[in-house]
Amino acid sequence: MGEFPGYTGRPELVETHISWVFLCDRFVYKIKKPIRYSFLDFSTVEKRKYYCEREIELNRRLTYDVYLDVQPIVEIYGRFYVGGQNGEIIDYAVRMRKLDRSRQMDVLLQNNKVTQSDMRNLAEKIAGFHKATGVIYNKDVLQIRNEFNDLGNERAYLIPEDGAIIDRAIGFSDAFIERHKALFADRLKGGFYRDCHGDLHSRNIFLLPDPQPFDCIEFNDEYRQIDVLNEVAFLCMDLDAFDKQELADQFLRYYNHFFPVLRSEDDRRLFLYYKSYRANIRAKVNSLRARSADNDAARSVALAEADKYLGLMNGYLAGISAGEGPEGSSGSF
């Protein structure tokens, strides 16, 4: 472990699949792992520096005085120093101001401390951001089909009952997209695809007097440049996963008041589809976590989470099927 400016203690390390995050007393330092996936490339120092700068630029759209600067990491005689002025630069870190963990939205949800007023303030913040951010007019809106169907790669790893749910869901998703190609195209043409946050869920939000969504997607523009309904669906699905459907309904009602994006029953069915898509992605992420778990307890927790999100996905698709009637029903839900 290296040394951090003005801090002599041992920082807390939080590791994700793409970053190391070091929590000190007043600041947080985020270092990108030297990795490359099909959707992300942090393989060189130059690329990691670029994406550090990009992370600050994009997150400043939603935060104030949180994302501070990019700090060099230098090596001197085998020791690593963040923010060092001398020595060979070997990497870079994003420096952020440390916020009050007790005000992180997922923590507040667990303690039943999120209010209707919080939902209104957050909805106003997100709606204002969406109205002001860039509009996207050039995008393959049907790419979501492949992203949804990628869950099929987890079929063999999960229990047989979950595999059957996945197969039905993929069949329903394919049929839904085919029936509603024009709706996807109309929303792109209508300016509802925007340069959004991309990863809007409760762990990425601090409910301060001014809500602070943070940690937006910087490594892949495609994941961030989406239908605003898709973005809002992620947060609402996350609230459903916390068994806070009333808060989800409040947020959506306030958001649609500030930025009317639900114009028809077709839009409402699309919103349900986006919720199913977001639950699908969370199920896949937890299945991958289970695969890489280094002990049975962690594997069991991840599989239980995957099962929970598959249940949510299944329920949303059943809601679409019921709303569309016999013509829209595949008979599977």
Residue 84: which residues within 8 A CB-CB, separation 6 or more?
A: 72, 73, 74, 76
- Average of per-residue pLDDT values in the chain: 92
- What is the Cα–Cα distance from 284 to 281, expressed in whole angstroms? 5
Average pLDDT for 232-252: 98
- What is the Cα–Cα distance from 97 to 29, expressed in whole angstroms? 9
Alpha helices (runs of H) in the chain, residue ranges in sequence order: 45-59, 105-110, 116-132, 144-149, 160-179, 181-189, 221-224, 228-241, 245-258, 265-292, 296-328
- What is the Cα–Cα distance from 179 to 159, expressed in whole angstroms? 31
- 310-319, pLDDT tens digit by residue? 999 999 999 9
Question: Tokens standing for 106?
Answer: 């997922």
> Is residue 333 pLDDT above 70, yes or no?
no
The residue whose two tokens read 């989800």 is 248
| Exposed / middle / buried, residue 220 (Cβ in 10 Å: 0-12, 13-18, 19+) | middle
> Is residue 1 pLDDT above 70, yes or no?
no
pTM for this model (two decimals): 0.91
The answer to whether 126 touches 255, Cβ cutoff 8 Å, is yes
- 37-66, pLDDT tens digit by residue? 888 999 999 999 999 999 999 999 999 999
- 284-331, pLDDT tens digit by residue? 988 888 887 889 998 999 899 999 999 999 999 999 998 775 444 444
Q: Which of 262, 296, 289, 99 is nearest to 192 (CA)?
A: 262
Domains of the chain and CATH, by start: 12-98 (3.30.200), 105-328 (3.90.1200)
- What is the Cα–Cα distance from 155 to 286, expressed in whole angstroms? 13
How would DSSP label each residue in 171-235? HHHHHHHHHTHHHHHHHHHTT-EEE--S--SGGGEE-SSS-EE-----S-HHHHEEEHHHHHHHH
Band (pLDDT 50/70/90 cuts) for residue 164 is: confident
Q: Which of 114, 94, 115, 92 is nearest to 102 (CA)?
A: 114
- 254-274, pLDDT tens digit by residue? 999 999 999 999 999 999 999
Query: So what's the pLDDT on residue 60?
Result: 97
